[in-house]
Chain A
Amino acid sequence: MRDAPTLSISDLTLSFRNWSGVSQVLHGIDLDIHKGERVGLVGESGSGKSVIARIILGTLHDVKGAQIGGDVRLGGRDMAGMSKSERGELRGTELSMIFQDPTTALNPVYTIGMQFLEVLRRGDSGMSAEDGKVRSAEILGEVSITDVDRVLESYPFQLSGGMNQRVMIAMALVNEPQLLLADEPGTALDVTVQAQTLELMRNLVEQHGTSVLFISHNLGVVREFADRIYVIYKGRIVERGPTASIFADPRHPYTKALMAAIPRLTGGGVPDIAEESESFFDPMITHGEAPE
């Protein structure tokens, strides 16, 4: 159990049942994240990236009509065997998540300080307001926020998007989670601000030894951030391997099409590949692990 990966997913399936029938969204996903590893998950819109994050988080289990199959283990513990409240226990303590738009993800009617205190109390329910402030100030310092007092007393609408993004990163890491899920973090921000905050986030998770599942549209950003990459297409992993190796030698037809489309882009997002090809459903390709 000591060497159990932070996250281990095998043969994960997901379908949604509604009045019009059943639609399968995930078709047997295998994905592992080891301690301190930063893993990127890349794919076009609707390919199933966010639902994977929500399954790991344990929030999709409660959605009506969602049928989840396969095996998800967090630090060796099987999620399927957990009750709703046991899953809830993990969130905010061992697992945390960073969202796309920091400004709308923070509650508009509470100050940053109050929101920090709430999050801190997830980890330590007896935390006093003073201790909370000290701890928040500490972690805000780690994301290079200097006027900590002002930020803690501010409401999200009083801060810039970049500042809120730093706050959200700090909040996600303040309880020292094992695994951080980042679903297209900062896509709502402008490119330079996004790059700066991702740099901060990268340093922080490196220092804290936090494992990260980094979901992104932006191949360029993933390349900067992730040690390893999974490419997902329509609910299937089509190619996986170390970042350098995949970028140097994309072998799956879908990955190739993705990479080939990058130069045409200005923003660096995942291109819409107009022509669909049967070959995109080719079997998964696994690159050998890079020698340490």
Chain B
Amino acid sequence: MKSIVSAVAKRLATTAIVLFGVSILIFLIARIIPGDPARIALGPRATVEQVERMRETLHLNDSIFVQYGYFVGDFLRGDLGISLYTNRPVMTDIAQFLPATLELVLLAGFFMVSIGLPLGAIAARYRGGWADHTIRIITLLTVSAPAFVWAVILVLLFSYYTPLFPIAGRIHETISIAPVTRFMLIDTLIAGRLDGFLSALHHLILPAFALSLSGIGQAARLTRSNMVEVYTQPYIEMAQSYGFSERRIASKFAFKPSLIPSLTIIGLDFAALLGNAFLVENIFAWPGISRYGVGVILQKDLNAIVGTVMIISATFLIANIVVDLLVAVINPRIRYAEQSD
């Protein structure tokens, strides 16, 4: 237990260092993009004096080092500045848009694990049989197209030709829910609106599924190949020699060891969902942070760009820590590594 706490502390420290690096990088990149942010924000009709005044308040006339100094100072006080795109504090924007993305990504991740792993395990258990072949073909198909292609296909099939799912938005427009956590599934429950919850889920399923499809395939294929390898191990022959049923051998003795090599990669795939969410959000008009990110980049909204990238990187890094913790839970060798040496 103590070793886990110290391991997490170590990881958090590294995360802070990585974030520091990211901040420098994105700070520079945002300022390399062509265009004058003040001019874009004020529009073509603003006078030169107005633009100059704005540049002054944004510290754009100072050297980049001074600008970065201002940024770090504000950042440490939890202030990411004002977005020129929405005219609100960037923090407020993030608080509004991030939960929508997280909701999408978390459900997609859930699909990835709860569909992908069992599919892989079934394929491995019936390796060489028809179930295996079917699963391998389907998963090959799902990994061979990126998430946004799936999004378009699914929208066409299940929203347009057969209107089973809504095309856009997070909840039915007649339902209004007071934002608390801004996770729609949670807020509807807080408000005691079961109809709202179901509507939110209904809106969420298709984009989350589109986002997760290639991850499902990836997880299934990885699990299959690892588990097929596990089946050649002496401990499986040992389990067979004890007469455990094929089913029990698959679910208990072969599945868990097969997770160890794949979990880290599945974890990375999960984190990558955050990046893929970007096009899926645009296709489903999903009011998430990725769509916001695209908007602010096009507007050269410096504060918002830096804020968005920082928050997405932080989410990514935290997701990685969580995955590593899960790996440690499943793999006793990692859990005991620190004690034994």
Contact B257 A99 (CB under 8 A): no
CA distance A202 to B164 in the complex (A): 69
Contact B243 A92 (CB under 8 A): yes
CA distance A110 to B244 in the complex (A): 16
* 0/1 interface trace, chain B 204-228, chain A, CB 8 Å (1 if under): 0000000000000000000000000
Task: Decide if B161 is an interface residue (CB 8 Å cutoff).
Answer: no
Contact B243 A109 (CB under 8 A): no
CB-CB nearest in chain B for A111: B332
User: Chain A contacts of B330 at CB under 8 A?
Assistant: 109
* 0/1 interface trace, chain B 235-260, chain A, CB 8 Å (1 if under): 10111111111000000110011001
8 Å CB interface, A93-124 against B? 93, 96-97, 99-101, 104-111, 118-119, 122
Known: A108-B257, A109-B260, A109-B330. A101 touches B234 (CB 8 A): yes
Contact A105 B336 (CB under 8 A): no
Task: Decide if B340 is an interface residue (CB 8 Å cutoff).
Answer: yes
Contact B242 A107 (CB under 8 A): no
Contact A93 B235 (CB under 8 A): no
Contact B238 A157 (CB under 8 A): no
User: Chain A contacts of B245 at CB under 8 A?
Assistant: 88
User: Chain A contacts of B244 at CB under 8 A?
Assistant: 92, 118, 122
Contact B243 A122 (CB under 8 A): yes
Task: Decide if A155 is an interface residue (CB 8 Å cutoff).
Answer: yes
User: Chain A contacts of B260 at CB under 8 A?
Assistant: 109
Known: A107-B235, A107-B257. A96 touches B333 (CB 8 A): no
CB-CB nearest in chain B for A100: B234
Contact A105 B243 (CB under 8 A): no
CB-CB nearest in chain B for A84: B246
Task: Decide if A23 is an interface residue (CB 8 Å cutoff).
Answer: no
8 Å CB interface, B98-136 against A? none
27 contacts between A and B (CB under 8 A): A59-B237, A59-B240, A88-B243, A90-B243, A91-B242, A92-B242, A92-B243, A92-B244, A93-B243, A97-B238, A99-B238, A100-B234, A101-B234, A104-B233, A104-B235, A105-B235, A105-B237, A105-B238, A106-B238, A108-B257, A109-B330, A109-B332, A110-B256, A118-B242, A118-B252, A122-B242, A122-B244
A interface with B by C-beta (< 8 Å): 57, 59, 88-93, 96-97, 99-101, 104-111, 118-119, 122, 155, 157-158
Known: A88-B243, A99-B238. 5 other contacts (CB 8 A): A59-B237, A92-B243, A96-B241, A109-B332, A157-B332
